[in-house]
Amino acid sequence: MSSIFLRIYGGLLFSLVLVSVLSGIVVTIVNGVRMAEYREDMARGTFRLVSEVLAAMPDDDQRKQWLGEWGHKLSIPFSIVPIEQSGFSRKEVEQLSQGLVDVQMLNEKSAVITSWIDDQWLLQGRVAEISEQMASGTIVFLRHLLSSYSPDERIEVLAKRSEASLSFPVSINQSPGTYLTPLQQGQLQQGSVITVLSVRDESLQLYAQMKDSDQILHLGPLKLLNLYPFKLILTLGLFVLISLSLAIYILVRGMEKRLRKLERAATRFSRGDFDVRVNVGGTDSIGRLAMAFNAMADHIQRLLSLQKEMIRGVSHELRTPVARLRFGLDLVADARTQEERESQLEGMDQDIQELDHLVDEFLTYANLEQGAPTISLKRNDVDKVVAQVVGEHLRLQNRVEIEHIPCNVLNPRRFVEIDRRYIHRAIQNLVGNACRYADSKVQVRFSSTQDTCRIDVDDDGPGIPEEQWERVFSAFSRLDDSRTRKSGGYGLGLSIVRRIMYWHGGRALVSHSPLGGARFSLVWPRKQRH
């Protein structure tokens, strides 16, 4: 038991190391994805705006001249590349045509950025460092584009540009608000781009004043990228793991106590204390295991009790025929004539037959009691089996009248899934028992409904008192100890009948008979559970 929990605790320690390694991998992957998305957002605005301006220029020389001028102002060496020579796949070109930009990192800082111009050309530019400084270039370029429109048209034009090209909010206001100091407002009026960093919100806002009016171009707030630190991810991972470990420990601790109860009970049971049972509640696997243990203990205890009972019964039942055989041998040795010798030998032969029958009864009872016998279920006409048993008894004796009342149900209902050998044995035992105690008449009938089958064996004998109805099915029991074995049997016949019915999912019953004696009934379902 302790080794199991050592493995559990060792597994938890291994999990701590695994969490540390996985945390590093997760941090690297997550930060890499976030960095790629952030770089694309920073570069998209500037490159999409430049691409739109180039798309409106039909002349290639004009494009080259314009790119050279603004490439110098933005510190980005631009170039125009034919789509066929770009090396992009069809899927990648389709993504570029939908407004995305491609960022290919050359090293930790610099990258080549590509955006869509038209069906023939792509815009490429080499950026030394993708950072918030690109937003500054974007606002300068926007101010240049908007300067060709009147103050009233700028808001509408900017709204269209912002929706189609930019990945961050841009607006035009008449006042910079309370974000700028008087010094910054003075620099703004001189044409400078003012950058305001908010530490609390971890955001960046940029301001630029239009040259021909008091309108203020506002870009932002632009969220800054803060990479997740490894210690944070590791701390969160360890916190989650420790919380789960604590919950698992509490759960395992309770399971350990219940398993120890089961272990102690099994140890006591192995030492001979067969009355021990386990009381652990719950419907989980341990609760079901405890129920299975208790069922096993009950079964083993019953088998041991049966074994003791059979040993006592066998020793008692064998004593009489063995004594008669010993006495017969003495008489054979002392016989003076051949006739006397043959008479004693015939008696000894009957004693041997009785021993053989007794052993057969013991083996049948033990097979039905001590485990799951081999039950071969096949569809059989039960009424024919009843008629066969009645015919066998009619040939063996003529003391009482045995009447078979034919079944009056439809032919399909007479066919039932049974083990013919065992059902024959059960009916045979009941009819034989009825013939021993009947005064003059025995009736046997089979009936069937849609769900159940029933066999009734009635006799006109003395009957059985109600308080003895349950005891009559116990092994080696005789209600009248004064009866001889010749009339009373070995006390196993009805026990065998009850066990046969148990393995057929039914039961054996005793009640009062309309003939005045006892009625023994077998009731079992028509359809068996395989």
Least confident among 40-54, 113-127, 249-263, 374-388: 40-54
Domain boundaries, the chain: 1-131, 133-228, 375-525
> How far apart, in whole angstroms, are the C-alpha atoms of residue 178 and residue 175?
9
> How far apart, in whole angstroms, are the C-alpha atoms of residue 162 and residue 297?
80
Is residue 179 predicted with pLDDT exceeding 80?
no
Which architecture, in CATH terms, is 375-525?
A: 2-Layer Sandwich (3.30)
Secondary structure element (H or E) that encloses residue 84, with its range:
none
pLDDT value of residue 344: 74
Between residues 61 and 506, the one the model is more confident about: 506
Is residue 334 predicted with pLDDT exceeding 80?
no
- DSSP label at residue 70: H
| 170-195 mean pLDDT | 76
Burial of 160 (0-12, 13-18, 19+ CB in 10 A): exposed
Contacts of 364 (CB under 8 A, 6+ apart): 425, 492, 496
Which architecture, in CATH terms, is 133-228?
A: 2-Layer Sandwich (3.30)
Contact between 466 and 473 under an 8 Å Cβ cutoff? The reply is no
Give Cα 331 to chain centroid, integer Å. 74
Tens-digit pLDDT profile for residues 4-35: 555 655 666 666 666 666 666 776 777 666 66
pLDDT value of residue 168: 72
pLDDT value of residue 481: 45
Is residue 128 predicted with pLDDT exceeding 80?
no
| 124-149 mean pLDDT | 76
pLDDT value of residue 482: 36
- DSSP label at residue 329: H
Q: Model's pTM, two decimal places?
A: 0.45
Tens-digit pLDDT profile for residues 423-446: 998 998 899 889 988 999 999 999
Q: What percent of the chain has pLDDT over 90?
A: 10
The CB density around residue 10, as the number of other CB atoms within 10 Å, is 10
For residue 486, name the pLDDT band (cuts at 50, 70, 90).
very low
Between residues 483 and 31, the one the model is more confident about: 31
| 239-247 mean pLDDT | 74
CATH fold match for the domains 133-228 and 375-525: no
Contact between 215 and 163 under an 8 Å Cβ cutoff? The reply is no
pLDDT value of residue 104: 80
| 152-171 mean pLDDT | 72
Contact between 439 and 460 under an 8 Å Cβ cutoff? The reply is yes
Is residue 373 predicted with pLDDT exceeding 70?
no
3-state secondary structure at position 405: strand
> How far apart, in whole angstroms, are the C-alpha atoms of residue 387 and residue 442?
13
Return the percent helix, strand and coil in the chain, to nearest 5.
55, 15, 25
Is residue 490 predicted with pLDDT exceeding 60?
no
Is residue 163 predicted with pLDDT exceeding 70?
no
